[in-house]
A and B are shown apart, each in its own frame.
Chain A
Amino acid sequence: MKMNSLMICIVLLLMVGAAGCRKGQPPVARPTPPAPPPPTTATRPPDPPTPMREPVPPEPLPSDSVAGRSLDDLNRDSPLRPVFFYYDSADVNDAGRGILQTNAAVLKKYPSWVITIEGHCDERGTAEYNLALGERRAVSARTYLVSLGVDASRVRTVSYGSEFPFDPAHQEGAWGRNRRAHFVITAK
């Protein structure tokens, strides 16, 4: 997606540039002087490119602009933060509760949003059981959000087991980042 936006940007720039050159070329109706040399771009600057959104916001936008962003942009820099879990556990810990309280506040501010909570596991368990464990993590996060007043019908859960690690490394730091409930905004 980022690549596509970049390509569109480049193509637009080229088109606008070319159009600018061509516009400068037609002869001007003046009787006496010989035709001027082909104008360079300096004589007639190309039209400014069409304003485009940054493909990736350089930093988190102020919350007021959140509502105006596309789903992809929202998810790329999501106001909903992931919750992490202890090994082989689906219990939301203290840190997780803090994060979920923040997420619940965001969801209350944008009551039309519908989200999917993805439950993920690290690679150390078996791939098959991790599919069940991931679901349980997603459900734990959902249950806590609902207890904070988020409408249950807005929150779906799905488990990816250990199939999509956030960090592919095979050590404790990565494992900690991979045991997570990840929030995806699916409608706004």
Chain B
Amino acid sequence: MTNPVRTFVFTVSCVAGLALVAAQNPAPPPAPPPPTSQTEISIGRITGDIGAPLHYAVPDFIALTADKDTADAAKVIAEVLWADLAFEREYDMIPRDTYRTIEQTPTTDTIAFDRWRELGADGVVKGSVTRTGNTFRVEMRLFNVRGRGVALGRVYENVSLRNPRAAAHAIADDIHQSQSGLNGVAKTKLTFVSDRDNERVVDTVETRNGKEIYVTDYDGANQMRVTANRRLNITPSWSPDGRSIAYTSYMRIHPQILVSNVYQGTRETLTDEKTSNLQPVYSPDGSRIAFMSQRDGNSEIYAMNRNGSGVRRLTTHNAADSTPTWSPTGSQIAFTSDRSGSPQIWVMDGDGLNLRRLTFSESWADRATWSPAPYNEIAYAGRSGPGFDIKMYDVASGQTKVLTDGSGSNESPSFSENGRHLAFTSTRFGKVQVFTIARDGKGLRQITRVGNNTFPNWSR
């Protein structure tokens, strides 16, 4: 195999240990250090037997500095990377304990190609971790076992000591991109709502548990609270750049739309009315926010600029129109309306024209969420029996398929950036929890476990 070897300069973002900060921090912390990584890379695509999946292995990374943090990081990065690669199901991941006996070379320069070939591996990810002051330096090589060469090599600087998992996520996304042309979602995050802290809502004599906005890595690690206002906060929605979360907060009498800039620790108030404004959702280019408002006396869909200006009303009907979602190009909006007598999914152009109904066979359909390209599907929660299931409507064919299997009630779907996964809530194990599932209904993963957790939204 001939692998063209070239040298590139890359900027690696998201590895630099960006720390999310709570929205209520009065003074923004200093900006995170700029991502600084100049990276040597060699590119080649691993191929295997035609029609057969490629088999990948990820042995423990090598700790090149002799401290416990580095040793732990070397192990964690390999474990997390293996799981990240398994998540997309592009490759057949060889279980890690089956190659503990393969002798590990002390550097990332080469591997025991013959032994790995015996094991059936096509690709082996070998890496090292070095502590450099207050950060790790992580080096990665993806070896092409049959071609006996390096398919991809990259260095990740400024990896946070507290979160070496971020390096694994960056490596996984780079491997998926270079080997399969796939946008992996290992670096993405979910935002959701939780009552896990059991903090009583202030300003009411009723005994009510506050609900706050949280974020988590896509795999459930690093769950962290964003809001701390001890009231009801719901329906969070990521901005497309992944740096802001718009949400509904009941900090005043009427719910209003706020934005938390999670890396600055600042908060913006987009609506401040004597009526309710809720369910914000960013357009794909991030310039507009669709939302539901009662400002004209009834639940209608509106859109505004991301700073709250330029409000435009999009629906006009005395039924309730709610829960908007944008199409991948931003030219259309799907939403829930009960103008037919029950909640159903409808779609209209971005200016409110060309209105039409999408769901006809449901007794109750809600929380439409439009897939990113190249898919053109609308997922929603449809009633089936006492609870709901996650269903997917294919816009081109008009066909609908059911993703969940009727256990518990399954609601509030949200697509991942690459359209291959959905986050949703389910009561299948008791309390409401956030799960992820692949678009074919396989690979169910539970993300939250403490308290009740609702309204998941997956970052771009």
Contact = CB atoms under 8 A, between A and B. Distances in A.
Interface in B272-310: 274, 276, 278-279, 292, 294, 299
B235 A128 contact: yes
Given A116-B253, A135-B294, A164-B232, A75 B205 contact: yes
B225 to A, nearest CB: 17
A1 interface: yes
Interface stretch (A8-16, A37-45, A119-127): A119-127
Contacts of A1: 205
B366 interface: yes
A125 B208 contact: no
Interface in A47-103: 72, 75-76
Contacts of B372: none
Interface of B: 204-206, 208, 211, 232, 234-235, 250, 253-255, 274, 276, 278-279, 292, 294, 299, 320-323, 336, 338, 343, 364, 366-367, 381, 386, 388, 411-412, 425, 454-455
B363 to A, nearest CB: 10
Contacts of A75: 204-205
A158 B279 contact: no
A132 B255 CA distance: 12
Interface residues of A, number: 27
Contacts of B381: 126
B320 A132 contact: yes
B232 A128 contact: no
Nearest to A162: B454
Contacts of B294: 135, 157
B322 A76 contact: no
Nearest to A77: B205
A59 to B, nearest CB: 17
A126 B411 contact: yes
A131 B205 contact: no
A1, A125, A127, A133 interface centre (most CB from chain B within 10 Å): A127
Nearest to A182: B206
A167 to B, nearest CB: 11
A158 B232 contact: no
A129 B386 contact: no
The 6 nearest A-B residue pairs measured at CB = A132-B320, A126-B366, A132-B322, A128-B323, A129-B366, A76-B205
Interface secondary structure of A, over-half rule: mixed
B278 A127 contact: no
A60 to B, nearest CB: 15
A160 B454 CA distance: 14
B320 A136 contact: yes
Given A126-B367, A160-B232, A135 B253 contact: no
Contacts of B388: 126
Given A129-B367, A132-B336, A164-B232, 7 more contacts: A72-B205, A126-B366, A126-B367, A127-B234, A129-B343, A129-B364, A132-B320
A15 to B, nearest CB: 27
A127 B412 contact: yes
Contacts of A164: 206, 208, 232
A186 interface: yes
A182 B205 CA distance: 12
B276 A159 contact: yes
B107 to A, nearest CB: 53
Nearest to A124: B386
Interface string A139-159: 000000000000000001111
B253 A127 contact: no
Contacts of B425: 127
A96 B319 CA distance: 22
Contact of B278 (A72, A131, A133): A131
A75 B208 CA distance: 14
A163 B292 contact: no
B33 to A, nearest CB: 39
Interface string A1-26: 10000000000000000000000000
Contacts of B411: 126-127
Contacts of A126: 343, 364, 366-367, 381, 388, 411-412
A156 B253 contact: yes
A131 B412 CA distance: 13
Contacts of A116: 253
A133 B322 CA distance: 10
A127 B454 contact: yes
Given A75-B205, A156-B254, A158-B254, A129 B322 contact: yes
A118 to B, nearest CB: 9
B253 A163 contact: no
A128 B412 contact: yes
Contacts of A159: 255, 276
A87 B162 CA distance: 49
B208 A132 contact: no
A186 B322 CA distance: 27
7 contacts: A125-B343, A126-B343, A127-B367, A129-B367, A156-B254, A159-B276, A164-B208
B208 A158 contact: no
Given A126-B343, A128-B323, A135 B366 contact: no
Nearest to B411: A126
A158 B276 CA distance: 7
Contacts of A135: 276, 294, 299, 320
B434 to A, nearest CB: 13
A184 B254 CA distance: 13
B366 to A, nearest CB: 4
B447 to A, nearest CB: 17
A124, A129, A161, A184 interface centre (most CB from chain B within 10 Å): A129
A158 B367 contact: no
Contact of B253 (A124, A133, A158, A161): A158
